[in-house]
Amino acid sequence: MKVKDFKWKKGIKVKEMVESFGNLGFQSIELAKASEVIVKMKKNSAKIFLTFTSNMVTSGLRGFFAQIVKLGMADVLVTTVGGLEEDIMKATGAKFDIGKFEADDVELHEQGVNRVGNLFINTESYMKFEDWIGPVLQQLYDKKKRWAVSELLKELGLLLDDENSILYQAAKNDVPVFCPAITDGAFGFHLYLFQQNHPDFVVDVVQDFGNILLCTSHDEKKGVIALGGSISKHHAILCTLLNGGAEFAVYLTTAHKTSGSMSGATTNEAKSWGKVKDDSDIATVIGDVTFTFPLAMIRALEQLDEEGLLNG
């Protein structure tokens, strides 16, 4: 394979552009490879685990994740609780603002604005979430007293009416959503408050660990698309480890392998644990997911659409 010059041409499709990255060099080659591995996951009927951290839902990727579920490109979702809160906030009318990384954070705090990078969330959005979640928890409690996390999240998705909502599309398309750290955010705080008045109300994280383990098997081919790191990434690949390892794995992250972190751990490192099989198709892309993931996934979607392999 030789390095080839990249040139723009009028009407170029994302598929053609990303494929040309395969001869460009550096991370562009990994990006093109990542897209190829995503296509292989689908063509080999692998169970696809899509994992992402909450900051990605703060961004405009939220609607893209929902669309991916609708198109049948994710069979299992694993995320952190902040993203679920913000999915509900946006589904019930909240709008987040684009600001600056260099904003005056003391001033923002005085104004009731919370910063996530260069995105701003008004404290009012959390207040409206509180108004929404309280009656919903009462509904769930009246229905039954003990819930596995993924069961609870499906019920929430069924209450939403927003095509761009991750929880809505997951519930509608019977895609389980796992959130092992359900208490690590505003949602967890409201679960705690509700339980003070309803001590028999239980959200069972351990039961849900069993649910994710049993959602696949040693015999089933498995693919992981991990965006960022954290507990969401590890929860999925721990599941694949205990089910014989993944045949396909794509990691996209800004973290570096030298940190020794889960966020920076590469697909090659995963082989030492058996989370990814020795002969698996893998790619690790270093870069901001807000542009690396859409490029890789859209190229895959265009190819699969041409071959009639998408749900709709």
Please state at what angle helix 61-70 crosses helix 289-306, rounded to 10 degrees.
30
DSSP characters for 91-132?
A: HTT--PEE--TT--HHHHHHTTEEEETTEEEEHHHHHHHHHH
| Active-site choice (154, 233, 275, 277) | 275
14's CB contacts (< 8 A; 6+ apart) are 295, 298, 299, 302
Report whether 129 contacts 89 (CB < 8 A).
yes
> Does residue 133 sit in helix, strand or coil?
helix
What are residue 260's phi and psi, to 5 degrees?
70, 15
In the residue annotation, 275 being an active-site residue is answered as yes
Report whether 57 contacts 83 (CB < 8 A).
yes
Distances (CA, A) of 67 to 58, 101, 181, 231: 16, 28, 24, 23
Q: How far is CA 254 from the centre of its chain?
A: 15
Residue 285 CB neighbour total at 10 angstroms: 24
Beta strands in the chain (DSSP E): 47-52, 76-79, 97-98, 113-116, 119-122, 146-148, 177-178, 202-204, 222-227, 246-253, 276-286
Tokens of 132: 């929404």
Of the candidates 242, 224, 233, the one whose C-alpha atom is nearest the C-alpha of residue 265 is 233
The radius of gyration of the chain from alpha carbons, rounded to an integer in Å, stands at 20
Of the candidates 135, 154, 141, the one whose C-alpha atom is nearest the C-alpha of residue 202 is 141
Q: Catalytic residues, which ones? A: 275
